[in-house]
Each structure stands twice: as C-alpha cells, then as structure tokens.
Amino acid sequence: MRAVIVLLTDFGHLDPYVGQMKGVLLREAPDASVVDLCHEVDAHNVMQAAFLLQVSRRHFPPQSIFLNVVDPGVGSGRSIVLAKRENQFFLAPDNGLLSFLLDAPALWWRVDANFPTASSTFHGRDIFAPLAARLALGATPQSMGSPIAPDMLARRDIVWAARENDELDCTVLHVDRFGNCLLNLRAENFPVQGETWLLDDGRMVAKVKTYADLAPGQLGLLEGSQGVMELAANQGSCARLLELRPGHNIRLTKKDTSHP
C-alpha cells in the first residue's frame, strides 16, 4: 500500500510554501500519495488546526502520516513531536496541536530535528517534510527520536461548551468556505429541535435540522457534518453577517416562548 501523507498548514495558497513542501515530499518519497487536508487555517491558529485534525483523522486509512505545520514558534527552542495512534502517525510542533491525543492510547517521541542547513523560518519544508518522507519510506519512530511521556508535552485542549440553564457560551472553532461557523458545541450534547435562541443583539437563531429549513438569510443552529453545531445563514455567510472569525466568542440565550 502506498504511503499517504496528509498536509495541514496555515500557509494558504498565495505563496509557494505548500508547493515547496510537496516538492520535497515527492523528491524524497516519490511513491507516496500526498493529500491536502487544509491550508486555510487562520495564521498561527493552533486550536483551529487541532480541531480540523481531530475531526478528520478517522476518514483516512491506517498508516496515514499527518504532517501538521501550524507553527508560531518556528525557529525557536520548541521541539517537534511524533505520535502514533491506531497505526496512524502525527508530526507536529510541540505547541498543543496534538493535545486531543494526549489522553488517548497513543505512543509519543520527541524527534531528532538536527538539520543544520534548515531555514530558521521554514521548518515545514526543511524539517517536517523530510521527516514525513522518512516515515513514508518505512523508518521507525524509534529511529527518528526518543520516547517521551505525554505529560511532558505542551497541552492546549479545546474547551467544549456545555448548556447551562438556558445559555450557551460558545467559541467559533472554524469558518468554512460558505461562512458557516463551527462551534465548540458537540452535536451529541444538543439534540433538541425546534428551539429558538437569541444572540446578544436580539437576533433570533432557529434550531433546525437542515439549511433548507431556514428562509434565505435566516440564522440557524444545526448539526453539521463535523460532529459539532454550526451557526449558519441559509444562502449567505453567517460569518460575514455577524463579523465572526475562529476564536471569537458568542452567547446564545434560549428565547422565552411564553413571551412574544
């Protein structure tokens, strides 16, 4: 089976950075399949990247190598870590991006990242890509670094929102191409349909099942495809309408149906 290398970065597509990383991967491991997960993570947004990786990993086959470069500390003393869980590999800076694996049955290594000619500003191309290529060619984690205990690693857990009384304090984890705002609210914890909620500015948000249940431009709260609740506007960008970005906080209050 061909190795699968999955790329997750905040590099965007305006610059040659993603292309250069792919060039190194294909030069070093020409038989590998290179898959783009996402390159539009907001710059330096480690938590957004962590969320996208967490909800995406199960869709990939065993032996997949997730190469994650959202790295505000590039060039500093931060280390590079490698995790293995369920026969999948995860390479990332030690900055909390892999925190969702810390309580899972995973194995961890601190990677030997001694690349004397590496750029101090582009470890994605000069260090991470060669490391991923080594894994794709069959290198063992033991040959690439030293085992490390999970409690020695940086931790930045996603704080999942919970309904308290009739209020929801949520954080936007991701905004997709359609302007839907994916919230830190697990869909499994919010099953009630037909409720109406209010934003702080008084705008109503209907709890619905599909986008089509909303009138054009109407705001709604619904279970999205990534296992979390989405704040959306039918045929419009909720993020643009409410001026929301990943990391922004919102409060939803259940509408008192006894009053108009």
157 domain residue, yes or no: no
CATH number at residue 185: 2.40.30.90
Confidence band for 164, pLDDT divided at 50, 70 and 90 = confident
Res. 256: pLDDT tops 80 = no
Contacts of 175 (CB under 8 A, 6+ apart): 181, 182, 239, 244, 245, 246
The answer to whether position 160 is within a domain reads: no
Domain identity same for 98 and 19:
yes
User: CB neighbours (10 Å) of residue 181?
Assistant: 28
In this structure, the answer to whether residues 136 and 178 fall within a common structural domain is no
Q: Does residue 31 sit in the same domain as residue 137? A: yes
Report pTM: 0.93
pLDDT higher than 50, residue 179:
yes
Q: What is the pLDDT of residues 199-220, one digit of tens each?
A: 999 999 999 999 999 999 899 9
Half-sphere exposure of 112 (CA within 13 A, CB side): 9
Residues 35 and 147 placed together within one structural domain of the fold = yes
- Arithmetic mean of pLDDT, 174-194: 89
Percent of residues, the chain, with pLDDT higher than 70: 97
Query: CA 212, CA 232: separation in Å to the nearest integer?
Result: 11
| Other beta carbons within 10 Å of 187 | 16
Tokens of 47: 């938590």
Residues 85 and 208 in one domain: no
- Convert the pLDDT of each residue in 108-136 to its tens digit: 999 998 899 999 999 999 999 999 999 99
Domain containing residue 249: 167-254
Please identify, among 152, 181, 213, the residue that sits at the C-terminal boundary of a domain: 152
Strands (E), the chain: 4-9, 33-38, 65-69, 80-85, 88-93, 107-111, 145-147, 167-175, 181-186, 196-198, 204-207, 219-223, 228-233, 249-254
Q: Within this chain, do residues 145 and 224 fall inside the same structural domain, yes or no?
A: no
The mean pLDDT value for 225-251 works out to 96
- The predicted-structure confidence for 22-45, as pLDDT tens digits, reads as follows 999 999 999 999 999 999 999 999
pLDDT of residue 238: 97
Residues 6+ apart with CB under 8 A from 156: 46, 47, 50, 95, 96, 97, 99
- Helix/strand/coil percent split, the chain, to 5: 25, 30, 45
Average pLDDT score over residue span 220-228: 95
Average pLDDT over residues 219-248: 96
Is pLDDT of 258 > 60? no
When divided into structural domains, the chain yields a total of 2
In a domain, 228, yes or no: yes
Mean pLDDT of 233-238: 95
Q: Chain-wide mean pLDDT for the chain?
A: 94
End of a domain among 120, 152, 184?
A: 152
Identity (one letter) of the amino acid at 87? N
